[in-house]
Amino acid sequence: MTDTEGNSPSEVVQICSDLIRIDTSNYGGSGGANERPAAEFVAGLLAECGIEMTILESEPGRANLIGRIIGTDPSRPALLLHCHLDVVPAVAMDWQIHPFSGEVHDGEVWGRGAVDMKDMCAMVLAVIRSWSKTGYRPSRDIVLAFLADEETGSKLGAHWMVKHHPELFEGCTEAIGEVGGFSYTVSEDVRLYPIMTAEKGKTWMRLTARGTAGHGSMIHKDNAVIALSSAVSRIGLHEFPLRMTATVQSFLDTAGKVVGLDFSGADVEEQLEKLGPISSLLRASLRNTANPTMLEAGWNVNVIPTHAHAYVDGRFIPGFEEEFHQQITEVLGPDIDWELVLQDIALETEFEGPLVDAMCAALIAEDSGAIPLPYLLSAGTDAKAFALLNMRCFGFSPLKLPPDLDFGGLFHGVNERVPVDALLFGERVLDRFLRDS
């Protein structure tokens, strides 16, 4: 493969492109995804390095790949590196470049998964393969996991592995995954690098409104669709109160000093807007959220149904799960029932310790203007499963990004892409980090 200028890319770029071309779209439900071809591709690359990997299917095609690199010091705890192989679906006609082409265009690798998270898969694989060429062995065991089903809650991926094969993670006390270590440019010489140390919890819920069935031509006030519509509006427009965690406070304190903004007042959200595109990633870390996403009702235009349903993506800040559920019930009122579709934990760990020091040092070694700091991810990752095994979990997929790139907008969006230079930077940082951790 060559890019549009005819240059041959490095291995990390080639691997990223190859993975993107393997369509692992996860449609959820019975359709699911087929991660098996991607798992077999990754297993083949690692087999060339002498690393034996095992494929475990939670369901036909839903492949999870795991193996272990044995370190030189058996007294040290193991480190887990985890990546997911599934991606959210993409509609080709909406994209400038086909979402499963893996094309390198204008210095960027295009396609679904370029940032979520086949870029990280590629960086991990490129680093491990480079070690095999020199005979390098890390001091601690490194468990490698490439997982299914992260995009629909990890039920057939990380959670399934933790439930059915916890022994494969024996000795792992810390885990590294996605959505952290990316840059936000403050000035030509200064960049913030948020490292994920916390995640909001997840409450996906199904709302139900009930009414009386009838003919669509009649005057009919006991209408489940009307009741549901009103409830959906209440949820969607409700503003939950500000709730500051230690992680968010630390981010605001550090970022405020660097960018010259005061985040200590009641106008913290207004101040965040001055940070530009990164503010969209940060606003949701300040409060619980609930967004209606799907509607179901009826079977014909002329029939008023007895039931109407809506689905809501709820996210709660660590420590505020009970308050969130209580507020949801209050906002919906007594005539609307809600039930869990999927529930998962919030997590938070300290921004300190040897592993954090190694992440920070690796970033600064490759970018002298780097200022690492912790942040709370408003979404969720496979870390939720591994936290159940008492691992400290971090998001560290390092990328040095162009100042004008709306990184947050690329996740699950159209025209997802990752700069080649960012991939090369990430490979170097990961190599340093893993050698020193």
Q: What is the mean pLDDT of each run of 10 residues along the chain (437 residues)?
A: 48 98 89 92 97 96 97 97 97 97 97 97 97 96 98 95 98 97 94 97 97 92 94 96 94 92 86 83 91 95 96 97 96 96 96 98 98 95 98 98 90 95 98 96
- Residue 337: exposure state from Cβ atoms within 10 A (0-12, 13-18, ≥19): middle
- 225: number of Cβ within 10 Å: 16
> Considering the domain boundaries, does residue 354 fall inside one?
yes
User: Within this chain, do residues 307 and 373 fall inside the same structural domain, yes or no?
Assistant: no
User: Within this chain, do residues 133 and 214 fall inside the same structural domain, yes or no?
Assistant: no
User: Within this chain, do residues 325 and 222 fall inside the same structural domain, yes or no?
Assistant: yes
> Considering the domain boundaries, does residue 172 fall inside one?
yes
The Cα 70–Cα 86 span in angstroms is 27
The Cα 235–Cα 168 span in angstroms is 42
**How many residues appear in the chain?**
437
- 300: number of Cβ within 10 Å: 7
The Cα 331–Cα 235 span in angstroms is 7
Domain count, the chain: 2
Coil, strand or helix: which one is 201? Answer: strand
- 162: number of Cβ within 10 Å: 20
> Considering the domain boundaries, does residue 269 fall inside one?
no
Prediction pTM value = 0.93
User: Within this chain, do residues 353 and 327 fall inside the same structural domain, yes or no?
Assistant: no
Distance from the Cα of residue 148 to its chain's centroid? 13
pLDDT of residue 5: 41
> Considering the domain boundaries, does residue 268 fall inside one?
no
Which of 345, 364, 390 finishes a domain?
345
Residue holding tokens 């993975």? 19
User: Within this chain, do residues 18 and 144 fall inside the same structural domain, yes or no?
Assistant: yes
Coil, strand or helix: which one is 14? Answer: helix
User: Within this chain, do residues 24 and 107 fall inside the same structural domain, yes or no?
Assistant: yes
User: Within this chain, do residues 382 and 395 fall inside the same structural domain, yes or no?
Assistant: yes
Distance from the Cα of residue 341 to its chain's centroid? 19
User: Within this chain, do residues 32 and 157 fall inside the same structural domain, yes or no?
Assistant: yes
Q: Where are the alpha helices (DSSP H) in 135-217?
A: 158-164
Which of 345, 360, 379 finishes a domain?
345
The Cα 165–Cα 179 span in angstroms is 25
User: Within this chain, do residues 354 and 341 fall inside the same structural domain, yes or no?
Assistant: no
Distance from the Cα of residue 186 to its chain's centroid? 24
- 282: number of Cβ within 10 Å: 24
Which of 311, 345, 379 finishes a domain?
345
Order of strands across the sheet with 201-210? 289-297, 307-316, 201-210, 336-344
The neighbouring-strand residues paired with 296 are: 309
Coil, strand or helix: which one is 397? Answer: coil
What type of residue is 11? E
The neighbouring-strand residues paired with 330 are: none
- Domain extent, residue 123, equals 11-195+347-436
> Considering the domain boundaries, does residue 270 fall inside one?
no
pLDDT of residue 9: 53
The Cα 1–Cα 401 span in angstroms is 23
β-pairing, 78-84 vs 172-177, is parallel
> Considering the domain boundaries, does residue 359 fall inside one?
yes
The Cα 54–Cα 267 span in angstroms is 51
Residue 221, domain CATH: 3.30.70.360
The Cα 332–Cα 323 span in angstroms is 14
> Considering the domain boundaries, does residue 331 fall inside one?
yes
User: Within this chain, do residues 161 and 218 fall inside the same structural domain, yes or no?
Assistant: no
User: Within this chain, do residues 294 and 378 fall inside the same structural domain, yes or no?
Assistant: no
User: Within this chain, do residues 168 and 308 fall inside the same structural domain, yes or no?
Assistant: no
Residue 169, domain CATH: 3.40.630.10
> Considering the domain boundaries, does residue 154 fall inside one?
yes
Q: Where are the alpha helices (DSSP H) in 91-168?
A: 118-134, 158-164
